[in-house]
Structure 1
């Protein structure tokens, strides 16, 4: 019986390949293999998640974050397949969700969102820059896995990883084109690049044959699962890192600057469509999560099978001291595990009978509220703190100055040979700017600092190390 979630055209690729003799491996498993063996995937290990990687081996980077998102994505797919009647008969392929999560951040430039803002400002009049749009560009063009046959032009022959259309659909988070010229717009625009409209149209045609998307958005069920998993990982693992770094403790959170708490309340209220969500609601969420984790002895039921014994014992030991959640390694990781399990259990699905591949993934309102509070509080309390802001400000400046140098007179000579060839293959200013942008966006944090030092620092010069 055919799985109603998937079309025959889902497994097709935009560049035809020889018939696959590996009957033991599905096209989606082959996609996964191509992703994890790609340089863009590996380079995530050198890109910041919250704290710079050189500060501690404990903290997440983009690579370890992606691995955690992948595990959560796969778990959500398995859970929904087991719980929903339609999906038990037409299961989601967990491998697509797994691969999508591995891919979701490879388009991020060095220094996170500050690097993204810097590149977008440099490209504002030439199509902009955005991490998700760059992800699609990397896998369909920049990666050096496949080339178009019988094409010699350096710009036109690139075909990236040549993934299946269904896998490509799973990373298309924002179904809108980014304008070519946004000179008056100061915000990074979510979407895909103007130059990638053709491949996006092909993805939609393959995944949803015959559907007119002029009046509805395209976002596959696997993409929605990845997106939810990213929010779960962000809201839980990032706060664990802030606990480990000593930036936050439960007592600091519960007594935090009221101005920040009010900012969090406004943003959370906007995201959950609740105009009455207040600062006191933010505090209530944290109190509930901490108190439910640190269970009082009288609330334990002997023989209960759904309680993590190790977590309970640790919580009982420290029930008079909430800050032990941040300071004790065993209790801290148990708290993170508790949150992840709690949030995964809140994921639901509403099947679209007409287009099952676009069925809606959502989170129960009470769980969504908790996720949004943790996510937005971590951002405002940590990522916008002065200690982190100094590092990120420096990163934004480094990215801007590297781009300016490459874009200056004879700046092309600073490019590696392959990028010089791509640059020289076009006379269009926007295409040349995009080539410079691709080069800078692919840098790790450390490589960007090293490259900048070779241009501007007294101690960074060398002629022997290749670019």
Structure 2
């Protein structure tokens, strides 16, 4: 039986062998990569980036850092459960899938989706901006770690100098992004042209002769964990904030045709991608009700055996209202609901082992579990992310990102901090696209608060020359 992890998997970007145990016995190459990420500035900055609700509103809401920690924990839970189902099969490395969970959102810029749109518009003629592509770029180039290669030369061009299999764990989309696109054309998810050579090296080290879709087992587990976390904990935050309740979710599906059609279309798209049969609108409502079924939603209150149908219907309505109120206002009820839901979803992950190419074995949720995840994901997007209150915050952020990028470009890097200024000057010897990419890297790495402060400084809003940028 082929091994799940080979010698090529643990070679590093610099060419070093990640399995060198003479210096650090007892620590695997993937655990070392996990540690390097944990101590990286780009990882710490996730605490200042919005997940769903701005952190300035409440310290309860998740940010990109806490979300990533939850994704890593769920990914590790999936790996350990799959390992326990067959002890004779090569075991999935939990450190590697947890790394992928921690790293998957590194590329997100300040101010969420609108920050991403702003950078993409500004970089349209130079390869655009895409969060997943930016994550690979951060790990492979933007982060600076001093490396002494085999020739004894100090290098700073290898990012965190991670193992090739580690980088493969965050490579979700196997497609290079076009350098230029027509006006109005949306960016396609993938990786930048600047990382094309790196991706080829990753594939050469990891693929083991495999010629199908390049998405490793660990990357698939991370992707599932992200969906589970997003469809559970973002829902919890939405209920805590009063943006959504079980009844409002059901009401929108049943009475808002536009939302129902959008959720149904996206859910069926995901079902088709996973090889499942689609569903109709009536089934959509049924599955939506089942999401809260274990919390008592839809069940009847105790009644006399000979109670009228009207009374039974009324009591069922009362029970739905009670569950709705508890999940909206009772933190203990929400915590129980989310913990139970995550556990059930993890137990519904299936593994199809690939005997010839174990690294490209496939995982997926069962059909019923996938439908529930997709319904909550897309309902949360329609009702919360696209709500006017959040749209106002993100729209304001888009202007801030655009203003900062424009000012940095017009100053020819003069407004950049010293370490970034040296990167800009090096890029000047290459092309305009290279200098714009450096500016884009700098802006994308900003936290929400730092972006606001930087914008205030360049706009002259109470800025002091003694406060560094």
Give yes or no for TM over 0.5.
yes
Structure 1 residue aligned with 2:438: 435
Contact in 2 for aligned 1:10/1:165 (Cα 8 Å)? yes
Indicate how the Cα distance of structure 1 residues 167 and 398 shifts in structure 2: closer, same or farther if over 3 A, else same.
same
Q: What displacement does 1:420 show?
A: 1.4
Q: What displacement does 1:345 show?
A: 1.3
Distance (whole Å) between structure 1 residues aligned to residue 152 and residue 120 of structure 2: 31
Contact in 2 for aligned 1:293/1:338 (Cα 8 Å)? no
Which residue of the other structure, out of 407, 414, 417, is the alignment partner of 1:405? Answer: 407
1:370 matched to 2:372: yes
Which residue of the other structure, out of 214, 219, 224, is the alignment partner of 1:218? Answer: 214
Distance (whole Å) between structure 2 residues aligned to residue 456 and residue 202 of structure 1: 44
Indicate how the Cα distance of structure 1 residues 441 and 336 shifts in structure 2: closer, same or farther if over 3 A, else same.
same
Structure 1 residue aligned with 2:98: 98
Q: What displacement does 1:197 show?
A: 1.0
Contact in 2 for aligned 1:48/1:61 (Cα 8 Å)? yes
Structure 2 residue aligned with 1:108: 108
Distance (whole Å) between structure 2 residues aligned to residue 218 and residue 185 of structure 1: 29
Distance (whole Å) between structure 2 residues aligned to residue 71 and residue 157 of structure 1: 31
Give SS of 1:247's match. Answer: coil
Distance (whole Å) between structure 2 residues aligned to residue 140 and residue 276 of structure 1: 39
- Aligned pairs for 1:225-374 within 5 A: 225-256=221-252, 258=256, 259-273=258-272, 277-294=279-296, 321-323=322-324, 324-374=326-376
**Structure 2: gaps of 5 or more residues:** 303-317
Distance (whole Å) between structure 2 residues aligned to residue 330 and residue 400 of structure 1: 42
Distance (whole Å) between structure 2 residues aligned to residue 390 and residue 152 of structure 1: 50
Structure 2 residue aligned with 1:34: 36
Contact in 2 for aligned 1:232/1:371 (Cα 8 Å)? yes
Of 417-426 and 62-71, more deviation after overlay is shown by: 417-426
Q: What displacement does 1:414 show?
A: 0.8
What's the CA shift string for 1:26-68, capped at 9, x where partnerless? 1111111100000000000000100001111110000000000
Structure 2 residue aligned with 1:305: none
1:458 matched to 2:461: yes
Contact in 2 for aligned 1:50/1:61 (Cα 8 Å)? yes
Indicate how the Cα distance of structure 1 residues 281 and 332 shifts in structure 2: closer, same or farther if over 3 A, else same.
same
Give SS of 2:364's match. Answer: strand
Give SS of 2:323's match. Answer: coil
Give SS of 1:67's match. Answer: helix
Give SS of 2:174's match. Answer: coil
Indicate how the Cα distance of structure 1 residues 31 and 275 shifts in structure 2: closer, same or farther if over 3 A, else same.
closer
Q: What displacement does 1:242 show?
A: 0.4
What number of residue pairs does the alignment pair up? 440
Structure 2 residue aligned with 1:117: 117
Contact in 2 for aligned 1:148/1:158 (Cα 8 Å)? no
Q: What displacement does 1:147 show?
A: 4.3
Structure 1 residue aligned with 2:166: 167
Q: What displacement does 1:254 show?
A: 2.0
Structure 1 residue aligned with 2:179: 180
Contact in 2 for aligned 1:265/1:281 (Cα 8 Å)? no
CA RMSD of aligned residues (A): 2.4
Give SS of 1:33's match. Answer: helix
Distance (whole Å) between structure 1 residues aligned to residue 347 and residue 125 of structure 2: 44
**Structure 1: gaps of 5 or more residues:** 300-316
Indicate how the Cα distance of structure 1 residues 94 and 276 shifts in structure 2: closer, same or farther if over 3 A, else same.
closer
Distance (whole Å) between structure 1 residues aligned to residue 197 and residue 217 of structure 2: 22
Structure 2 residue aligned with 1:422: 423
1:445 matched to 2:448: yes
Which residue of the other structure, out of 383, 386, 390, is the alignment partner of 2:385? Answer: 383
Contact in 1 for aligned 2:177/2:187 (Cα 8 Å)? no
Contact in 2 for aligned 1:3/1:91 (Cα 8 Å)? no
Contact in 2 for aligned 1:147/1:160 (Cα 8 Å)? no
Distance (whole Å) between structure 1 residues aligned to residue 32 and residue 353 of structure 2: 28
Q: Give the alignment's TM-score, normalised by structure 1.
A: 0.89
Structure 2 residue aligned with 1:7: 6
Contact in 2 for aligned 1:231/1:371 (Cα 8 Å)? yes
